């Protein structure tokens, strides 16, 4: 059964209780990461099950509902938003003890601002599975060295959300941003440091899509043609123009 949703690459299918998807040079490193997370008790990620006879990576299927775009209401209340932020914090704490395989190749699409941890790099509602008893992030193929705040800044954009699009923009985005910061447990210094990263992270997405579109690289060129580049640019402008507002909200 083909699996659709988000901006998933083609060839992702469900087979029984597993998900099969094309593997890449980064897959062994990603599976080492997912194995570590499972071994230290973090269950907010799929368990890797190796490579099948067709060379596809095999992951345990996680039942539930993807939170975006049609089910964002599942994150409307304070309690669900806190749970999402805590899941991110739990992942960051769990991955802190991970030692990557020597010379591990990662699919680092966008250069991060450091290598504090192996970051997910796409923590967003479109990669969050909300189940009856378990919440988990999927699509770990772009995991790569990064920092906690780089990962969280991207997540805040999607979960608050911090969007210029009238269809997604919220009057309470500042309060939701503060709630994310509180639930994650940001220190005062981290709260100061993440403010400029909010705009830098969305700008990095626009720059990446522009470069990939110029090279004709799929699926990014298709996303650029569909207006995703314009959306990331507009969100960057919106976020940076309201930096003082976010600062006041997050510091309180």
Q: Between β-strands 48-51 and 18-22, what pairing exists: parallel, antiparallel or unpaired?
A: unpaired
pTM of the entire structure? 0.94
3-state secondary structure of 70: coil
Residues 69, 55 within the same domain:
no
Residue 42's pLDDT is 98
Euclidean distance between CA atoms 230 and 36, whole angstroms? 38
The sheet with strand 13-15 has its strands ordered as 13-15, 18-22, 56-60, 48-51
Residue 185 lies in a domain: yes
Task: CATH number of the domain at 142, please.
Answer: 1.10.510.10
Residue 2's pLDDT is 46
> pLDDT by residue (tens digit) across 188-237?
999 999 999 999 999 999 999 999 999 999 999 999 999 999 999 999 99
**Cα dihedral 25→30→32→38 (10° resolution):** -160
Residues 78, 53 within the same domain:
no
Residue 160 lies in a domain: yes
Residue 8 lies in a domain: no
pLDDT exceeds 90 at position 11? no
> pLDDT by residue (tens digit) across 14-49?
999 999 999 999 999 999 999 999 999 999 999 999
Euclidean distance between CA atoms 14 and 174, whole angstroms? 38
Residue span of the structural domain in which 18 resides: 13-60
């Amino acid at each position: 059964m083909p699996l659709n949703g988000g901006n998933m690459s083609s060839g992702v299918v469900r087979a029984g209780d597993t998900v099969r998807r094309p593997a890449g040079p980064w897959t062994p490193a990603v599976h080492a990461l997912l194995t570590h997370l499972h071994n230290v008790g973090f269950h907010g990620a799929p368990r890797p099950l190796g490579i099948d006879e067709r060379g596809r990576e095999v992951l345990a299927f996680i039942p539930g509902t993807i939170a975006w775009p049609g089910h964002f209401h599942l994150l409307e209340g304070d309690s669900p938003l806190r749970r999402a932020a805590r899941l991110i914090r739990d992942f960051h704490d769990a991955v802190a003890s991970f030692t990557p395989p020597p010379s591990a190749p990662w699919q680092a699409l966008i250069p991060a601002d450091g290598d504090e941890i192996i970051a997910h790099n796409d923590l967003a509602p479109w990669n969050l599975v909300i189940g009856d008893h378990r919440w988990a992030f999927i699509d770990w193929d772009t995991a790569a060295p990064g920092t906690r705040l780089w990962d969280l800044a991207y997540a805040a954009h999607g979960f608050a959300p911090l969007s210029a699009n009238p269809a997604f923009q919220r009057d309470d985005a500042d309060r939701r941003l503060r709630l994310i910061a509180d639930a994650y447990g940001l220190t005062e210094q981290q709260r100061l440091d993440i403010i400029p990263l909010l705009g830098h992270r969305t700008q990095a997405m626009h720059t990446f899509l522009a470069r990939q579109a110029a090279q004709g690289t799929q699926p990014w060129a298709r996303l650029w043609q569909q207006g995703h580049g314009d959306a990331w640019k507009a969100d960057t402008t919106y976020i940076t123009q309201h930096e003082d507002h976010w600062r006041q909200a997050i510091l309180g």
